[in-house]
Structure 1
Protein backbone atom coordinates (compact mmCIF):
# COMPACT_ATOMS: atom_id res chain seq x y z
CA UNK A 1 0.00 0.00 0.00
CA UNK A 2 1.39 3.41 -0.98
CA UNK A 3 1.22 6.55 1.12
CA UNK A 4 -0.13 9.77 -0.40
CA UNK A 5 2.44 10.73 -3.05
CA UNK A 6 1.86 14.46 -2.61
CA UNK A 7 2.38 14.25 1.15
CA UNK A 8 5.49 12.08 0.81
CA UNK A 9 7.07 14.28 -1.85
CA UNK A 10 6.33 17.52 0.02
CA UNK A 11 7.82 16.12 3.22
CA UNK A 12 10.87 14.73 1.48
CA UNK A 13 11.56 18.01 -0.32
CA UNK A 14 11.37 19.89 2.97
CA UNK A 15 13.79 17.40 4.50
CA UNK A 16 16.24 17.62 1.59
CA UNK A 17 16.41 21.37 2.21
CA UNK A 18 17.57 20.69 5.77
CA UNK A 19 19.95 17.75 5.41
CA UNK A 20 23.64 18.75 5.66
CA UNK A 21 26.11 18.01 2.85
CA UNK A 22 26.91 14.33 2.48
CA UNK A 23 30.60 14.87 3.10
CA UNK A 24 30.00 16.73 6.37
CA UNK A 25 31.80 15.16 9.30
CA UNK A 26 29.62 13.95 12.17
CA UNK A 27 30.53 12.93 15.70
CA UNK A 28 27.48 11.45 17.38
CA UNK A 29 25.42 11.09 14.23
CA UNK A 30 23.23 13.68 12.55
CA UNK A 31 20.53 15.36 14.61
CA UNK A 32 17.09 14.66 13.20
CA UNK A 33 14.61 17.56 13.36
CA UNK A 34 11.03 17.10 14.55
CA UNK A 35 9.87 17.35 10.93
CA UNK A 36 11.08 13.87 10.06
CA UNK A 37 11.08 12.12 13.43
CA UNK A 38 8.01 10.07 12.40
CA UNK A 39 10.02 8.77 9.42
CA UNK A 40 13.23 7.88 11.25
CA UNK A 41 14.04 4.22 10.81
CA UNK A 42 14.35 3.33 14.47
CA UNK A 43 14.14 -0.34 13.59
CA UNK A 44 16.49 -0.08 10.61
CA UNK A 45 19.58 -2.19 11.12
CA UNK A 46 22.66 -1.14 9.19
CA UNK A 47 25.59 -3.51 9.47
CA UNK A 48 29.15 -2.74 8.42
CA UNK A 49 31.70 -5.32 7.33
CA UNK A 50 35.22 -3.99 6.87
CA UNK A 51 36.98 -7.30 7.43
CA UNK A 52 38.17 -7.16 3.82
CA UNK A 53 39.29 -3.55 4.15
CA UNK A 54 39.97 -2.60 7.79
CA UNK A 55 41.51 0.70 6.68
CA UNK A 56 38.00 1.85 5.71
CA UNK A 57 36.56 1.46 9.23
CA UNK A 58 36.23 5.17 10.04
CA UNK A 59 34.81 6.02 6.62
CA UNK A 60 32.39 3.11 6.93
CA UNK A 61 30.93 4.60 10.11
CA UNK A 62 30.25 7.87 8.27
CA UNK A 63 28.55 5.90 5.50
CA UNK A 64 26.45 4.06 8.06
CA UNK A 65 25.26 7.33 9.63
CA UNK A 66 24.33 8.66 6.20
CA UNK A 67 22.35 5.51 5.34
CA UNK A 68 20.47 5.63 8.64
CA UNK A 69 19.44 9.23 8.01
CA UNK A 70 18.68 9.05 4.29
CA UNK A 71 16.89 5.71 4.09
CA UNK A 72 13.54 6.99 5.38
CA UNK A 73 13.92 10.22 3.37
CA UNK A 74 14.52 8.38 0.09
CA UNK A 75 11.70 5.97 0.93
CA UNK A 76 9.33 8.91 1.39
CA UNK A 77 10.42 10.60 -1.82
CA UNK A 78 10.07 7.43 -3.88
CA UNK A 79 6.82 6.56 -2.11
CA UNK A 80 8.23 3.16 -1.26
CA UNK A 81 6.75 0.83 1.32
CA UNK A 82 8.58 1.61 4.56
CA UNK A 83 8.63 -1.03 7.26
CA UNK A 84 11.85 -0.34 9.17
CA UNK A 85 11.27 -3.22 11.58
CA UNK A 86 11.82 -5.61 8.67
CA UNK A 87 14.57 -3.67 6.91
CA UNK A 88 18.25 -4.47 7.15
CA UNK A 89 21.01 -2.98 5.04
CA UNK A 90 24.54 -4.35 4.83
CA UNK A 91 27.57 -2.26 3.87
CA UNK A 92 30.48 -4.45 2.76
CA UNK A 93 33.92 -3.00 2.04
CA UNK A 94 36.48 -4.99 0.09
CA UNK A 95 39.01 -4.84 -2.72
CA UNK A 96 37.17 -4.94 -6.03
CA UNK A 97 37.05 -3.27 -9.41
CA UNK A 98 34.79 -0.30 -9.96
CA UNK A 99 33.13 1.85 -7.31
CA UNK A 100 30.20 0.04 -5.71
CA UNK A 101 27.42 -2.40 -6.46
CA UNK A 102 24.05 -3.22 -4.91
CA UNK A 103 22.22 -6.52 -4.73
CA UNK A 104 18.89 -6.37 -2.87
CA UNK A 105 19.89 -4.95 0.55
CA UNK A 106 23.67 -5.45 0.27
CA UNK A 107 25.84 -2.52 -0.83
CA UNK A 108 29.38 -3.60 -1.69
CA UNK A 109 31.93 -0.77 -1.83
CA UNK A 110 35.39 -0.79 -3.38
CA UNK A 111 38.03 0.04 -0.78
CA UNK A 112 40.33 1.50 -3.42
CA UNK A 113 37.68 4.02 -4.45
CA UNK A 114 37.12 5.08 -0.84
CA UNK A 115 40.83 5.66 -0.33
CA UNK A 116 41.18 7.73 -3.50
CA UNK A 117 37.82 9.56 -3.13
CA UNK A 118 37.35 10.06 0.65
CA UNK A 119 34.61 12.69 0.19
CA UNK A 120 32.45 10.60 -2.12
CA UNK A 121 29.65 9.60 0.26
CA UNK A 122 27.31 10.48 -2.57
CA UNK A 123 28.04 7.20 -4.33
CA UNK A 124 26.71 5.38 -1.25
CA UNK A 125 23.52 7.44 -1.47
CA UNK A 126 23.20 6.41 -5.13
CA UNK A 127 23.45 2.76 -4.10
CA UNK A 128 21.02 3.31 -1.21
CA UNK A 129 18.46 4.55 -3.73
CA UNK A 130 18.79 1.20 -5.51
CA UNK A 131 18.03 -0.60 -2.24
CA UNK A 132 14.86 1.46 -1.84
CA UNK A 133 13.86 1.12 -5.51
CA UNK A 134 13.83 -2.68 -5.44
CA UNK A 135 11.83 -2.69 -8.69
CA UNK A 136 10.62 -5.83 -10.45
CA UNK A 137 12.87 -6.87 -13.40
CA UNK A 138 12.90 -4.23 -16.14
CA UNK A 139 14.84 -3.30 -19.26
CA UNK A 140 14.80 0.39 -18.31
CA UNK A 141 18.11 0.34 -16.45
CA UNK A 142 18.90 3.83 -17.82
CA UNK A 143 15.89 5.18 -15.94
CA UNK A 144 16.73 3.37 -12.71
CA UNK A 145 20.24 4.84 -12.74
CA UNK A 146 18.89 8.25 -13.74
CA UNK A 147 16.48 8.36 -10.80
CA UNK A 148 19.30 7.39 -8.43
CA UNK A 149 21.52 10.20 -9.69
CA UNK A 150 18.57 12.62 -9.73
CA UNK A 151 18.21 12.08 -5.98
CA UNK A 152 21.94 12.29 -5.45
CA UNK A 153 22.68 15.42 -7.48
CA UNK A 154 19.40 17.31 -7.52
CA UNK A 155 18.56 16.68 -3.89
CA UNK A 156 21.83 16.13 -2.04
CA UNK A 157 24.83 17.30 -4.06
CA UNK A 158 23.72 20.07 -6.43
CA UNK A 159 27.33 21.10 -6.97
CA UNK A 160 27.76 17.90 -8.96
CA UNK A 161 25.04 18.64 -11.50
CA UNK A 162 26.23 18.57 -15.13
CA UNK A 163 25.68 21.86 -16.94
CA UNK A 164 26.26 21.06 -20.60
CA UNK A 165 25.96 18.08 -22.93
CA UNK A 166 27.28 16.90 -26.27
CA UNK A 167 24.71 15.95 -28.91
CA UNK A 168 27.14 13.53 -30.56
CA UNK A 169 27.95 11.63 -27.36
CA UNK A 170 25.11 12.04 -24.89
CA UNK A 171 21.69 10.43 -24.91
CA UNK A 172 18.87 10.22 -22.39
CA UNK A 173 19.41 6.47 -22.22
CA UNK A 174 22.96 6.92 -20.92
CA UNK A 175 21.58 6.83 -17.38
CA UNK A 176 23.25 8.34 -14.32
CA UNK A 177 23.82 12.11 -14.30
CA UNK A 178 22.79 12.55 -17.93
CA UNK A 179 19.38 10.99 -17.38
CA UNK A 180 19.12 12.68 -13.98
CA UNK A 181 19.64 16.07 -15.63
CA UNK A 182 17.07 15.22 -18.30
CA UNK A 183 14.48 14.26 -15.68
CA UNK A 184 15.18 17.42 -13.67
CA UNK A 185 14.76 19.57 -16.79
CA UNK A 186 11.45 17.90 -17.67
CA UNK A 187 10.11 18.50 -14.18
CA UNK A 188 11.05 22.17 -14.34
CA UNK A 189 10.10 22.81 -17.96
CA UNK A 190 6.80 20.93 -17.98
CA UNK A 191 5.82 21.33 -14.31
CA UNK A 192 5.22 17.60 -13.97
CA UNK A 193 6.55 15.18 -11.29
CA UNK A 194 8.10 12.85 -13.85
CA UNK A 195 10.47 11.23 -11.32
CA UNK A 196 7.58 10.29 -9.05
CA UNK A 197 5.50 9.05 -11.98
CA UNK A 198 8.22 6.94 -13.60
CA UNK A 199 9.23 5.54 -10.21
CA UNK A 200 5.65 4.48 -9.48
CA UNK A 201 5.30 2.86 -12.91
CA UNK A 202 8.58 0.98 -12.47
CA UNK A 203 7.47 -0.20 -9.02
CA UNK A 204 4.19 -1.48 -10.44
CA UNK A 205 5.94 -3.03 -13.49
CA UNK A 206 3.76 -0.93 -15.81
CA UNK A 207 6.40 1.49 -17.16
CA UNK A 208 6.41 2.23 -20.90
CA UNK A 209 8.25 5.01 -22.70
CA UNK A 210 4.96 6.58 -23.76
CA UNK A 211 4.52 7.71 -20.15
CA UNK A 212 6.65 10.72 -21.05
CA UNK A 213 4.32 11.66 -23.89
CA UNK A 214 1.29 11.23 -21.64
CA UNK A 215 2.77 13.63 -19.10
CA UNK A 216 4.33 16.23 -21.43
CA UNK A 217 2.67 15.87 -24.82
CA UNK A 218 6.03 14.97 -26.42
CA UNK A 219 7.82 11.67 -26.85
CA UNK A 220 11.27 10.99 -25.42
CA UNK A 221 13.16 11.80 -28.62
CA UNK A 222 11.37 15.14 -29.03
CA UNK A 223 11.97 16.01 -25.37
CA UNK A 224 15.66 15.13 -25.69
CA UNK A 225 16.05 17.27 -28.79
CA UNK A 226 14.49 20.20 -26.93
CA UNK A 227 16.70 19.53 -23.91
CA UNK A 228 19.80 19.49 -26.10
CA UNK A 229 18.80 22.77 -27.73
CA UNK A 230 18.88 24.31 -24.25
CA UNK A 231 21.99 22.61 -22.84
CA UNK A 232 24.31 21.49 -25.65
CA UNK A 233 27.94 22.39 -25.12
CA UNK A 234 29.07 24.80 -27.85
CA UNK A 235 31.61 23.41 -30.32
CA UNK A 236 33.43 24.88 -33.30
CA UNK A 237 30.64 23.48 -35.48
CA UNK A 238 27.73 24.74 -33.40
CA UNK A 239 29.02 28.18 -32.42
CA UNK A 240 27.31 31.00 -34.22
CA UNK A 241 28.88 34.39 -34.91
CA UNK A 242 27.65 37.21 -32.72
Structure 2
Protein backbone atom coordinates (compact mmCIF):
# COMPACT_ATOMS: atom_id res chain seq x y z
CA UNK A 1 0.00 0.00 0.00
CA UNK A 2 1.40 3.41 -0.97
CA UNK A 3 1.20 5.93 1.86
CA UNK A 4 0.11 9.40 0.67
CA UNK A 5 3.03 11.80 0.40
CA UNK A 6 3.07 14.98 2.47
CA UNK A 7 2.37 18.26 0.68
CA UNK A 8 5.17 19.42 -1.62
CA UNK A 9 6.90 22.68 -0.68
CA UNK A 10 5.29 25.72 -2.26
CA UNK A 11 8.62 26.55 -3.92
CA UNK A 12 10.23 23.32 -5.14
CA UNK A 13 14.00 23.10 -4.91
CA UNK A 14 16.01 22.71 -8.11
CA UNK A 15 16.86 19.21 -9.30
CA UNK A 16 20.50 18.22 -9.80
CA UNK A 17 22.06 17.46 -13.15
CA UNK A 18 21.48 13.77 -13.95
CA UNK A 19 24.04 11.65 -15.79
CA UNK A 20 23.98 7.97 -16.72
CA UNK A 21 26.92 5.67 -17.46
CA UNK A 22 26.34 2.04 -18.48
CA UNK A 23 29.58 0.08 -18.52
CA UNK A 24 28.30 -2.80 -20.64
CA UNK A 25 25.35 -2.32 -22.97
CA UNK A 26 25.47 -6.03 -23.85
CA UNK A 27 24.79 -7.04 -20.24
CA UNK A 28 21.27 -8.39 -19.64
CA UNK A 29 20.92 -6.03 -16.69
CA UNK A 30 21.41 -3.00 -18.93
CA UNK A 31 18.55 -4.07 -21.18
CA UNK A 32 16.29 -4.81 -18.20
CA UNK A 33 17.04 -1.41 -16.67
CA UNK A 34 16.35 0.51 -19.87
CA UNK A 35 13.12 -1.41 -20.42
CA UNK A 36 11.93 -0.83 -16.86
CA UNK A 37 12.58 2.87 -16.21
CA UNK A 38 13.64 6.13 -17.77
CA UNK A 39 16.83 6.98 -15.85
CA UNK A 40 16.27 10.73 -15.82
CA UNK A 41 12.64 10.50 -14.69
CA UNK A 42 13.42 7.79 -12.14
CA UNK A 43 16.18 9.83 -10.50
CA UNK A 44 14.07 12.97 -10.51
CA UNK A 45 11.36 11.04 -8.66
CA UNK A 46 13.95 9.66 -6.24
CA UNK A 47 15.32 13.14 -5.51
CA UNK A 48 11.81 14.47 -4.93
CA UNK A 49 11.22 11.62 -2.46
CA UNK A 50 14.15 12.83 -0.34
CA UNK A 51 12.85 16.39 -0.57
CA UNK A 52 9.36 15.27 0.50
CA UNK A 53 10.23 13.19 3.52
CA UNK A 54 13.42 14.76 4.87
CA UNK A 55 13.20 18.50 4.21
CA UNK A 56 10.95 21.52 4.63
CA UNK A 57 10.98 25.11 3.42
CA UNK A 58 12.59 26.08 6.75
CA UNK A 59 15.12 23.25 6.57
CA UNK A 60 16.07 22.91 2.89
CA UNK A 61 18.15 20.06 1.45
CA UNK A 62 21.87 20.23 0.65
CA UNK A 63 22.64 21.67 -2.77
CA UNK A 64 23.63 18.51 -4.61
CA UNK A 65 24.71 19.65 -8.07
CA UNK A 66 24.96 16.33 -9.91
CA UNK A 67 24.02 12.68 -9.59
CA UNK A 68 25.86 10.24 -11.84
CA UNK A 69 24.22 6.80 -12.01
CA UNK A 70 26.72 4.10 -12.95
CA UNK A 71 25.38 0.69 -13.96
CA UNK A 72 28.20 -1.83 -13.78
CA UNK A 73 29.13 -5.40 -13.00
CA UNK A 74 29.82 -5.70 -9.28
CA UNK A 75 28.83 -7.74 -6.20
CA UNK A 76 26.12 -6.53 -3.85
CA UNK A 77 23.31 -4.14 -4.72
CA UNK A 78 24.38 -0.50 -4.82
CA UNK A 79 26.36 2.18 -3.03
CA UNK A 80 26.72 5.94 -3.15
CA UNK A 81 29.78 8.19 -2.89
CA UNK A 82 30.38 11.93 -2.93
CA UNK A 83 32.86 13.42 -5.37
CA UNK A 84 34.09 16.87 -6.33
CA UNK A 85 35.62 19.48 -4.07
CA UNK A 86 32.68 19.81 -1.72
CA UNK A 87 31.25 16.30 -2.10
CA UNK A 88 28.10 17.71 -3.69
CA UNK A 89 28.56 15.69 -6.87
CA UNK A 90 27.28 12.19 -6.16
CA UNK A 91 27.79 8.80 -7.78
CA UNK A 92 25.35 5.93 -7.39
CA UNK A 93 26.90 2.60 -8.39
CA UNK A 94 24.22 -0.01 -9.17
CA UNK A 95 24.93 -3.70 -9.82
CA UNK A 96 23.86 -5.03 -13.22
CA UNK A 97 23.81 -8.53 -11.76
CA UNK A 98 21.38 -7.43 -9.06
CA UNK A 99 19.10 -5.92 -11.70
CA UNK A 100 19.05 -9.29 -13.48
CA UNK A 101 18.34 -11.04 -10.16
CA UNK A 102 15.36 -8.70 -9.62
CA UNK A 103 13.94 -8.82 -13.14
CA UNK A 104 10.61 -10.34 -12.04
CA UNK A 105 9.72 -7.00 -10.41
CA UNK A 106 12.30 -4.84 -12.13
CA UNK A 107 10.59 -1.44 -12.14
CA UNK A 108 9.57 -1.48 -8.47
CA UNK A 109 12.93 -2.81 -7.28
CA UNK A 110 14.98 -0.43 -9.41
CA UNK A 111 12.92 2.48 -8.13
CA UNK A 112 13.24 1.25 -4.55
CA UNK A 113 17.02 1.02 -4.80
CA UNK A 114 17.28 4.43 -6.49
CA UNK A 115 15.10 6.06 -3.82
CA UNK A 116 17.24 4.46 -1.08
CA UNK A 117 20.56 5.45 -2.64
CA UNK A 118 19.40 8.97 -3.44
CA UNK A 119 18.61 9.48 0.25
CA UNK A 120 22.33 8.88 0.84
CA UNK A 121 23.01 11.77 -1.55
CA UNK A 122 20.99 14.14 0.63
CA UNK A 123 20.69 13.00 4.24
CA UNK A 124 22.69 14.56 7.09
CA UNK A 125 25.06 12.29 9.02
CA UNK A 126 25.99 14.17 12.18
CA UNK A 127 29.46 15.05 10.89
CA UNK A 128 30.04 11.35 10.15
CA UNK A 129 29.02 10.25 13.67
CA UNK A 130 25.56 8.86 12.88
CA UNK A 131 25.38 5.05 13.35
CA UNK A 132 25.38 3.19 10.05
CA UNK A 133 22.16 1.44 11.00
CA UNK A 134 20.33 4.75 11.38
CA UNK A 135 21.77 6.03 8.08
CA UNK A 136 20.45 2.95 6.29
CA UNK A 137 17.21 2.99 8.25
CA UNK A 138 16.39 6.55 7.20
CA UNK A 139 17.00 5.56 3.57
CA UNK A 140 14.63 2.60 3.87
CA UNK A 141 12.12 4.76 5.77
CA UNK A 142 11.88 7.04 2.71
CA UNK A 143 11.67 3.97 0.46
CA UNK A 144 8.78 2.66 2.57
CA UNK A 145 6.94 5.97 2.52
CA UNK A 146 7.20 6.07 -1.26
CA UNK A 147 5.60 2.61 -1.48
CA UNK A 148 8.66 0.69 -2.70
CA UNK A 149 9.10 -1.77 0.17
CA UNK A 150 9.61 -5.21 -1.41
CA UNK A 151 7.37 -8.17 -0.51
CA UNK A 152 10.04 -9.95 1.55
CA UNK A 153 10.50 -7.10 4.03
CA UNK A 154 9.22 -7.76 7.56
CA UNK A 155 8.88 -5.71 10.73
CA UNK A 156 11.35 -6.98 13.32
CA UNK A 157 11.22 -6.18 17.00
CA UNK A 158 12.08 -8.44 19.92
CA UNK A 159 15.48 -10.06 19.39
CA UNK A 160 16.65 -7.33 17.03
CA UNK A 161 18.23 -3.93 17.70
CA UNK A 162 16.60 -0.63 16.80
CA UNK A 163 19.68 0.39 14.83
CA UNK A 164 20.05 -2.90 12.95
CA UNK A 165 19.50 -0.80 9.84
CA UNK A 166 17.61 -1.14 6.59
CA UNK A 167 13.96 -2.16 6.89
CA UNK A 168 14.22 -3.06 10.60
CA UNK A 169 15.07 0.54 11.44
CA UNK A 170 12.95 1.89 8.57
CA UNK A 171 9.74 0.39 9.95
CA UNK A 172 10.67 1.59 13.45
CA UNK A 173 11.14 5.15 12.19
CA UNK A 174 7.82 4.95 10.34
CA UNK A 175 6.12 3.96 13.60
CA UNK A 176 7.77 6.89 15.41
CA UNK A 177 6.55 9.26 12.69
CA UNK A 178 3.03 7.84 12.84
CA UNK A 179 3.01 8.05 16.64
CA UNK A 180 4.57 11.48 17.15
CA UNK A 181 3.45 13.29 14.04
CA UNK A 182 4.42 14.14 10.50
CA UNK A 183 7.89 15.60 10.22
CA UNK A 184 9.44 13.75 13.17
CA UNK A 185 11.98 11.89 11.02
CA UNK A 186 12.68 15.06 9.05
CA UNK A 187 13.48 16.81 12.34
CA UNK A 188 15.71 13.90 13.39
CA UNK A 189 17.61 14.29 10.13
CA UNK A 190 17.91 18.05 10.71
CA UNK A 191 19.35 17.46 14.20
CA UNK A 192 22.39 15.96 12.50
CA UNK A 193 23.01 18.79 10.04
CA UNK A 194 25.65 20.77 11.92
CA UNK A 195 26.27 18.73 15.04
CA UNK A 196 27.25 15.22 16.03
CA UNK A 197 24.69 12.47 16.49
CA UNK A 198 23.50 11.68 19.99
CA UNK A 199 20.79 9.26 21.02
CA UNK A 200 19.16 12.06 23.03
CA UNK A 201 17.91 13.49 19.70
CA UNK A 202 15.09 10.96 20.02
CA UNK A 203 14.20 12.20 23.50
CA UNK A 204 14.32 15.82 22.40
CA UNK A 205 11.77 15.05 19.67
CA UNK A 206 9.48 12.57 21.45
CA UNK A 207 10.19 13.00 25.19
CA UNK A 208 11.11 9.30 25.20
CA UNK A 209 14.52 7.69 24.96
CA UNK A 210 15.19 5.55 21.92
CA UNK A 211 15.43 2.56 24.28
CA UNK A 212 11.90 3.21 25.57
CA UNK A 213 10.60 3.81 22.05
CA UNK A 214 12.09 0.51 20.89
CA UNK A 215 10.60 -1.37 23.86
CA UNK A 216 7.16 0.07 23.08
CA UNK A 217 7.50 -0.79 19.39
CA UNK A 218 8.55 -4.37 20.21
CA UNK A 219 5.58 -4.70 22.55
CA UNK A 220 3.24 -3.49 19.81
CA UNK A 221 4.61 -6.00 17.32
CA UNK A 222 4.40 -8.85 19.82
CA UNK A 223 1.06 -8.22 21.57
CA UNK A 224 -0.68 -5.48 19.56
CA UNK A 225 -1.77 -4.10 22.94
CA UNK A 226 -2.19 -0.33 22.75
CA UNK A 227 -2.72 0.03 26.50
CA UNK A 228 0.53 -1.77 27.25
CA UNK A 229 2.40 0.36 24.71
CA UNK A 230 1.02 3.53 26.30
CA UNK A 231 2.06 2.27 29.73
CA UNK A 232 5.63 1.77 28.50
CA UNK A 233 5.76 5.21 26.90
CA UNK A 234 4.34 6.87 30.03
CA UNK A 235 6.75 5.21 32.48
CA UNK A 236 9.64 7.11 34.09
CA UNK A 237 12.55 7.38 31.68
CA UNK A 238 16.06 7.85 33.08
CA UNK A 239 17.86 6.96 29.87
CA UNK A 240 19.02 9.55 27.34
Structure 1 and Structure 2 fold alike (TM over 0.5): yes
1:140 aligns with 2:120: no
Give the structure 2 partner of residue 75 of structure 1.
51
For 1:228-239, list aligned pairs within 5 A.
228-232=218-222
1:107 aligns with 2:96: no
Among residues 6, 24, 41, which one is paired with 1:13 in the alignment? Answer: 6
Give the structure 2 partner of residue 176 of structure 1.
166
Secondary structure of 2:139's counterpart equals helix
Q: 1:82 to 1:222 in 2, by over 3 A?
A: closer
Secondary structure of 2:19's counterpart equals strand
Give the structure 2 partner of residue 212 of structure 1.
202
Secondary structure of 2:203's counterpart equals helix
Q: 1:88 to 1:157 in 2, by over 3 A?
A: same
* In structure 1, distance between residues paired with 2:30 and 2:11: 28
Give the structure 2 partner of residue 222 of structure 1.
212
Give the structure 2 partner of residue 46 of structure 1.
18
- Deviation for aligned residue 1:201: 1.3
Give the structure 2 partner of residue 191 of structure 1.
181
Q: TM-score, normalised by structure 2?
A: 0.72
Structural RMSD (CA): 2.9
Contact 1:53 1:111 in 2 (8 A): no
Give the structure 2 partner of residue 22 of structure 1.
none
Q: 1:65 to 1:138 in 2, by over 3 A?
A: same
Give the structure 2 partner of residue 27 of structure 1.
none
Tell me which protein shows more helix as a share of its residues: 1
Q: 1:128 to 1:221 in 2, by over 3 A?
A: same
- Deviation for aligned residue 1:181: 0.9
Contact 1:153 1:161 in 2 (8 A): no
For 1:82-121, list aligned pairs within 5 A.
83=63, 87-104=65-82, 105-118=90-103, 119=106, 120-121=109-110
Q: Once the two structures are superposed, what CA deviation does each residue of 1:85-140 show, in whole Å capped at 9, x if it has no partner?
A: x6111111111111001112000011110011132120121001101125431242
Residue range with higher mean Cα deviation, 106-115 or 147-156: 147-156
* In structure 1, distance between residues paired with 2:40 and 2:223: 38
- Deviation for aligned residue 1:39: 4.1
* In structure 2, distance between residues paired with 1:216 and 1:131: 27
Q: TM-score, normalised by structure 1?
A: 0.71
Secondary structure of 2:100's counterpart equals helix
User: Which segments of structure 1 move beyond 6 Å, counting only runs of 4 or more?
Assistant: none
Q: 1:36 to 1:127 in 2, by over 3 A?
A: farther
* In structure 2, distance between residues paired with 1:134 and 1:202: 6
For 1:116-127, list aligned pairs within 5 A.
116-118=101-103, 119=106, 120-121=109-110, 122-127=112-117
Query: Please, which runs of 5 or more residues in structure 2 have no aligned partner?
Result: 83-89, 225-240
Aligned residues: 200
Contact 1:186 1:192 in 2 (8 A): no
